Chains A and B, each alone.
Chain A
Amino acid sequence: MTQPILTLKDVVVEFPGLRGLKGLMAPPEQRHVQAVAGISLDVQPGETVAIVGESGSGKTTLARAINGLVPLAGGEVWFDGMPLHERPDWHAVRRRVAMMFQDPSGSLSPRKTVRDLVLEPFAIHGIKLDDPGAKAADLLATAGLGPDFLARYPHQLSGGQARRVGVARALALDPAMVLADEPTAGLDVSIQGEILNLLNRIKAQHGLTTVIITHNLNILRHVADRVAVMYLGRIVELGEVEQILSTPAHPYTRALMAANPEPDPTARHERITLKGETPALNARPSGCEFHPRCPVARPECAERAPLLGPTPGAGQVSCHFPIHKDEMNTA
């Protein structure tokens, strides 16, 4: 096995829970909530790992923590041999780790032209270009946009076009890794394919390592090698994409997959509807944090927290009573 390019060890990110006087008077454990509560993950060079979960699962926070946009409260992050948890030179790190944000147009500075936007990475890193105009047109072409877009402003772009500009910006400095937060958010179904094809092509051409954060389960099979499922800031299941999709071992993963309505009116939905909603971060349930919503919970689930361990397949799952392949058909 090769050396992983990205290693996360027990990564914890905290947010202030109570502010001001209330915060000072509260017991220490209530002053902060853990948005990311101990995540460990290895990403191999050239691999694409998708992190899926619903709102409040901490997936976006995790991506931002890797890039130093939110501080770590604990744990270690290693990128290509560099310890990112020990006050690294972020300016240098961010040259090699590009990030794409959720909102295609909202992540573009509104008063800059597309030309300025795609040349921005060079300006930030003080790189002189012989022919900036040609470089900008070049980058846009890689992302599938013609040079007529150079003079436009973000509000003059459609969602798909803005996303392409985002891709061009992310690729400008030839990064080693891309963190893509919801690459299909805000895009119509008919455009999603184009953007994912673009990402796949670029990944293959540049040998990019990619971490994709998404709640769109439909795209997983087409973009990811491995999938990590997050719930309340922890990974509850991790495995190869096909295995996760066909034989999910965690009841939450299974409910999530089943909750995805298919565009096929004849499909029979054998779905487990989960009770209630994701609890708040400051009210984590005891034992297994999923037990209040879990359809197969037993009394001990409320008492003892499961650890992430190997599944019957090749993945990892944190559940006392993981679902086995043969149960899938009978349930």
Chain B
Amino acid sequence: MKPFRRTLAGRLLADPQAAIAMLIIAALVLAAVFADLVAPYDYSAMNLADRFARPSADYWLGTDNLGRDTFSRLLQGGRIALYVALTAVSVSALIGLALGMIAGYGPRWLDNVLLFSFDTLRAYPTIILALALAALLPRGLSTVIIVVVITSFSEYGRVVRTQTLSLKHAEFILAERAMGAGFGRIVFHHLLPNVLGPFFILAAMNLPVVITIEAGMSFLGIGVPPGTPSWGATLKDGFDHIRTTPWIIIAGGLPLILVTLGFTFLGEALRDQLDPKLRRGR
């Protein structure tokens, strides 16, 4: 066995940037998972007597226009954010992975067709597509997920395609074919493991982007249904009362900043550690 400090996890922990990133992510995940236990109040409980309360020992981050505790709502919102991000990223990443490998390893004409559709989708502005789809589909988390999947799978597809294409004519792939290996074996045993590195990095970097899209759509009122404590919805509430009670919008932005920092740091650290050329000290 390799000593722990030489494994990927060991090397990540030794990198201060990655260690901070993992700390932030762990805190966010734990808070979201145990939201019900950690939250001081029920996220939907209204307390009209304490409307627009300033941050205090009772209400750590104050309350909103209906007297609901902002901190409890943000914790609950973390659940929604993680749910949307994980589902949307895994679905779009898997679609992108499959299509990218087909484009890269399949026949040339299919590559051209897929590449054309990737580029078309990528050229289309996310927010316009989101508005259009929101008009067609019922309001809810699944609409958010569908929008994210449609707009982002092509990015994975492109990265995976490029990676696959560069491996397609590598001698080790030829060597496997010359031994009689079939399509499935080459794709799953020999191409896939070599494509996964950059693919995971992209997925890690994309998680906060998806969370921001969800927040953005909820902010615009085309995301989660009213009353749902998503981060975007909290921001929207805060925005409506920004002159009188600025703490809501400030508090609502904090988890977004943290989550973006956390996953971006992790993605960058992963990239450095998975690419031997960037690994320091050799």
Contacts and interface: CB of A to CB of B under 8 A. Distances in A.
Given A94-B179, A94-B180, A69 B174 contact: yes
Interface in B148-184: 170-172, 174-182
Given A111-B193, A111-B194, A106 B181 contact: no
B194 A101 contact: no
A99 B181 contact: no
Nearest to A181: B171
A110 B276 CA distance: 13
A67 interface: yes
Nearest to B177: A69
B178 A108 contact: no
A59 to B, nearest CB: 15
Interface in A93-140: 93-95, 98-99, 101-103, 106-112, 120-121, 123-125
B243 interface: no
A229 to B, nearest CB: 25
Given A67-B178, A98-B179, A103 B171 contact: yes
A275 interface: no
B189 interface: yes
A90 interface: yes
Nearest to B170: A106
Among A94, A99, A107, A121, chain B packs the most CB atoms within 10 A around the CB of A107
Contacts of B176: 109, 120, 124
B178 A99 contact: yes
Interface string A303-314: 000000000000
A277 to B, nearest CB: 25
A124 B180 contact: yes
Nearest to A93: B180
B179 A124 contact: yes
Contacts, number: 61
Contacts of A166: 175
Contacts of B178: 67, 69, 94, 98-99, 101
B175 A99 contact: yes
A164 interface: no
A124 B170 contact: no
Nearest to B190: A109
A22 interface: no
* B-side interface mostly: helix
A109 B189 contact: yes
Contacts of B171: 101-103, 106-107
Given A124-B179, A169-B179, A110 B174 contact: no
A87 interface: no
Contacts of B5: none
A91 interface: yes
Interface size class of B (residues with CB under 8 A): 10 to 19
Interface string A62-102: 00100101000000000000000000001111110011011
Contacts of A110: 172, 194
A110 B189 CA distance: 11
Contacts of A124: 176, 179-182, 185
A108 B179 CA distance: 12
Contacts of B182: 91, 124
A325 B217 CA distance: 87
B174 A125 contact: no
Interface string B189-228: 1100110000000000000000000000000000000000
Nearest to A172: B179
Nearest to A106: B171
Contacts of B185: 123-124
A64 B171 CA distance: 12
B109 to A, nearest CB: 12
Contacts of B170: 106
A274 B169 CA distance: 33
Contacts of A64: 174
A209 to B, nearest CB: 16
A125 B194 CA distance: 23
A290 to B, nearest CB: 30
B175 A107 contact: yes
B179 A121 contact: yes
A228 to B, nearest CB: 21
18 contacts: A67-B178, A69-B177, A90-B180, A91-B182, A94-B179, A98-B179, A99-B175, A102-B171, A107-B171, A107-B172, A107-B174, A109-B172, A120-B179, A124-B179, A124-B181, A125-B180, A166-B175, A169-B179
Interface of B: 170-172, 174-182, 185, 189-190, 193-194
The 3 tightest CB contacts between A and B, nearest first, are A94-B180, A99-B178, A107-B171
